[in-house]
A and B are shown apart, each in its own frame.
Chain A
Amino acid sequence: MGRAVAVIGTGQTKHGRRDDLSYPDLVREAVKKVFEDAGITPKDVDGVVYGSMPSMMEGMAYNHFYFADALRVVGKPLLRTETCGSTGQSVAHTAIHWIASGMADVVLAVASEKEHEGDAQATMMTILEPFLMVTIGGAPVAFSLQSREWMGYYHIDDDKAREAASIVSVDSHDGGLKNPLAHIRVKLTKEDVSKAPIITYPVRLYDVCPTSDGACAVIFASEEKAKKICKKPAWVKGIGFRGEEYFIGDSNKAVWQSTIEASKEAYKEAGITNPLKELDVAEVYNPFSYQELMFLECLGLCPPGEAPDYVIKGTFSPGGELPCDPSGGVLCTNPIGAAGLIRVAEAALQVTGKAGEHQVEEAKLALSHAMGGAEQFNGITILGSEL
């Protein structure tokens, strides 16, 4: 793996509808916070990594150049990474590889999105290749198709899946209520979720993530620097990333190979053999409540086909064996480019005891995860409080 790497600071903006700030000022809000949290200055940073969705989302091309001042990149090397929804994880992995290789000691990783400046669904459908893929429905359609494929493959009853998905949505929204930076902060009941208007059946209004504006910044450091600068670093224990074929129909999306292989790689590196028992908290990427059920299986947190049973039992709810998305997850906050990096930041907050109201007691080992494309990429980062 190379040298050991740790997270020494995180910063997030207040996510939501940020019409009060221009986009560069929004990015600066997160970058200012991360320097305060880490207790270092821009002079100490050796390189910057930036990522977001393709520039068509906000209509500004090469936005890593647009934010050059806000990212404090003047006089420093810059790398741009982009893998759609898993951009945040890719940005984290780029920074981690940069330090692990010995080519840098301190790297600033930033990811952001300002979806209220464009029409997210229209952009994603328009800039997708126009000849051969599904053309109507936006992002929800791809994931609804996948959810139904999973239900069909494991013969899961519609009603049981509906109940489990509602529990996931209620738990995530409860987490959002405890996270002052989350976008959506409402109290929901299972009834509200199950009877909401249909977006792309079986996915309904409260099963879907919001369109958010937000930015997240994380500072990574080598072992030597982390031990010198930071009182409580969050150590990177394992990472994994996998890609898949382009066409949705080419592989089985119920037994999702890229998630399974990426998580196996991360667990092997972290020395984890029983993830459900050994992990204390999981920040799973959950823009759609049905999709979280699939991720729980493919990340090896429960046997295939049994996620609804485990969720209904309360295994993944607050207070359960492995609380999922105590920060509200992507269901409460989704600036697409930043969402993956927010998962890393939240995992770091959990294992260093800085998560405030949504802290999971005694959390020592946390998983963060993100998915990208029309189900083509999956990235995982595992953080722990011990080296």
Chain B
Amino acid sequence: MAEQKEKPRKVGAMGMVPYEMALGPTWTKFFEGFKEKKILGTKCKKCGRVLVPARPFCPRCFEPMEEWVEVAQEGTIVTWSYVNYTYFGVTPDMIPVIGAIIKLDGVDCGTGMSTQIGGLDIKDFELVTKKVKVGARVKAVWRRKRQGNFRDIDYWKIIE
């Protein structure tokens, strides 16, 4: 390339696109349950599994899941992870955070939604590794004001 005046440049830009997504009847009913502090699951009439979050159809049998079951608000930790870094949209005051997958009593799958572990000093890493373990029992703690979305469960606290 003949004569370049400077090193190749980069151009900054922001992509901003608005979306509004339909939840559909199943998830609408599921989140209405959150407003009333209820966790609702759906049961497949073919394989008998109860799944949370509620589904319109069973992913393995492909049958519609029409039976609704209110499930327990306690469960066991299947796995957890301690998140300690930032990226665009996550500010340093938002971390650290403990994400987890929890198997609720009576449910046949793990639930990875609104499943942050809390109720202990998360910044104390030693304490976290002592208390948060695969197999530990946890219980849901609800927010006082609920809007019918995944933030309604504030966190899950470890019960001895």
Which residue numbers of A lie inside 8 Å of B, CB to CB? Answer: 19-22, 56, 59, 119-122, 125-126, 130-138, 140-141, 144-146, 148-149, 151-152, 197-203, 245-251
Contact = CB atoms under 8 A, between A and B. Distances in A.
A201 B84 contact: yes
A119 B86 CA distance: 11
Contacts of A134: 99, 112-113, 115
- Main secondary structure on A side of the interface with B: mixed
Interface residues of B, number: 46
B80 interface: yes
B10 A59 contact: no
B110 interface: yes
Interface stretch (B35-43, B66-74, B88-96, B137-145): B88-96
Interface of B: 7-8, 10, 13, 15, 21, 23, 27, 31, 51, 53, 59-60, 78-85, 87-90, 94-95, 97, 99-103, 109-113, 115-116, 125, 129, 134-135, 149-150
A132 to B, nearest CB: 5
Given A137-B97, A145-B81, 20 more contacts: A20-B7, A20-B8, A22-B8, A56-B15, A119-B88, A131-B31, A132-B113, A134-B113, A136-B95, A136-B97, A137-B81, A137-B99, A140-B85, A148-B81, A148-B134, A152-B134, A197-B84, A198-B82, A200-B81, A248-B112
Contacts, number: 123
A248 B109 CA distance: 9
B122 to A, nearest CB: 11
A145 B80 contact: yes
A206 to B, nearest CB: 14
B89 to A, nearest CB: 5
A19 B51 CA distance: 47
A136 B79 contact: no
Contact of A250 (B59, B94, B116, B134): B59
Contacts of A22: 8
A197 B51 CA distance: 37
A199 B110 CA distance: 23
Contacts of B83: 136-137, 140-141, 199-200
Contacts of B89: 122, 125-126
A201 B126 CA distance: 12
A149 B27 contact: no
**Most chain A Cβ neighbours within 10 Å, of B7, B23, B99, B125:** B99
A152 B27 contact: no
A125 B27 CA distance: 20
B112 A247 contact: yes
B121 to A, nearest CB: 15
B88 A249 contact: no
Given A148-B134, A249-B112, A122 B85 contact: no
20 contacts: A131-B150, A133-B113, A136-B90, A136-B94, A136-B116, A137-B83, A137-B97, A138-B87, A140-B83, A145-B80, A148-B79, A148-B134, A198-B125, A200-B83, A248-B112, A249-B78, A249-B109, A249-B110, A250-B59, A251-B109
Nearest to B8: A20
A173 to B, nearest CB: 20
A247 B53 contact: yes
A250 B47 CA distance: 14
A138 B94 CA distance: 13
Contact of B13 (A59, A126, A133, A144): A59
B103 to A, nearest CB: 8
A198 B79 CA distance: 17
Nearest to B104: A249
Contacts of B111: 249
A203 B85 CA distance: 11
A25 to B, nearest CB: 10
Contact of A149 (B51, B82, B99, B101): B101
